[in-house]
Structures are given as structure tokens and as C-alpha cells.
Homo-oligomer: A and B are copies of this chain.
Amino acid sequence: MILARLILGLLSLSPMTGYDLKKHFDSSINHFWNADKAQIYRTLAQLVDQGLATVRTVPQENYPARQEHHITEAGRAALQDWLTGTLDRQPAREPFLGRIFFSGELERHEVLELLAARRTEAEDLQRSYRALRAELDEAALADRRGYLMAATLDHGIAHVGAELNWLDSVEGNLP
């Protein structure tokens, strides 16, 4: 399961609770993976079962106790294995293209509306990616770790750009 590896990856940076993990997913991982809260908690339990992480309860004043999850040595090894092992290529899944594929049924103006809606979405995404990119610390990019994290964002930016170009072309030539 990929989610388990991503969680291990975050735990390798610092110990976290399920709640912390959810926040990290929503902020920095969201552009290439999203995680449901329920799934995070269940996966954390799994990791503990498998000995890849341990829990430590840390009481707090005025707040519920934190269930801090720490990565174990076995966990680090599993992460390393995942990083270097072969990744089976996963099939593409683009519901939007499913529509386009069958939208020969529609009137021309309806197709143009579909494309316009897609364009709006892509532009929104582009704005949010660029905003995230602008917030990154220039100094952090010199370090390989920071560079690679930023590269995942650049990946999103590159693909949104390709999407917009594709939209230009499809709209421009639609019979």
C-alpha cells in the first residue's frame, strides 16, 4: 500500500500523530496524493502491528493526549526498500477524458462548455500551485531533500501547463 509508505516517509522526518499526518497530507502531499482521515488512523494501526512504527502517548494540558507515532528501524528499512525497489506503473485514470471520449453525442457548444469548465479548474490549480511554489524558501532548494520536494510541485505545474496547451489546441480545432 502506497499510503503506508508515504506515512512512513513523514514519520521518518519526525514523530507525528494521525492528526499531524492529516495536516501534512493536506498541505504538502495533496498535489500528488490525498488521504482520508479514517484511512490514516487505520494505516497507522497497521504499521504498529507490523512493527514499522511504535506509539507513545504524550499527555497535554487542555488538549487530548497525543498518540505520537515513531518510526522504527524496521520502518526505516521498509521505507528504503520502497524507495529503491521497482514501482509497477499504475494505469492512468482520467474521468474527464472518459467524458471527452464519448462527448461526440453532445452539441458543439456543450463540448465547448465541458472544455471551458476544465480550463477554469486547471487555471485554479495553476494558481494554487504557483502560490505554494512562491512560498518555498529559496535556500531550502539548494539541499537535495528540499529540491526534490519542490520538484513534485514543479511536476504539477508542468502538467497543468500541458493541460492548458492541450485545451487551446482542442478548442481551436474542434470541428
Residues of A whose CB lies within 8 Å of any CB of B are 2, 5-6, 9, 12, 29-34, 79-80, 82-84, 86-87, 89-106, 108, 110-111, 114, 117, 121, 141-149, 151-152, 154-156, 158-159, 161-163, 165-166, 169-170, 173-175
Contact = CB atoms under 8 A, between A and B. Distances in A.
What DSSP secondary structure best describes chain A's contact surface? helix
A101 B12 CA distance: 12
Number of copies: 2
Given A32-B97, A121-B89, A159-B162, A148 B83 contact: no
B170 A98 contact: no
Given A12-B105, A159-B159, 15 more contacts: A5-B98, A32-B97, A33-B95, A79-B105, A80-B105, A87-B96, A89-B121, A100-B148, A100-B151, A100-B152, A100-B155, A104-B145, A144-B174, A154-B166, A158-B162
Contacts of A101: 6, 9, 29, 32, 148-149, 152
Contacts of A95: 2, 33, 87, 90
Given A144-B104, A156-B92, A99 B87 contact: yes
A33 B147 CA distance: 32
Nearest to A98: B6
A141 B169 CA distance: 14
B166 A147 contact: no
Contacts of A152: 97, 100-101
Contacts of A79: 102, 105
Contact of A83 (B90, B106, B151): B106
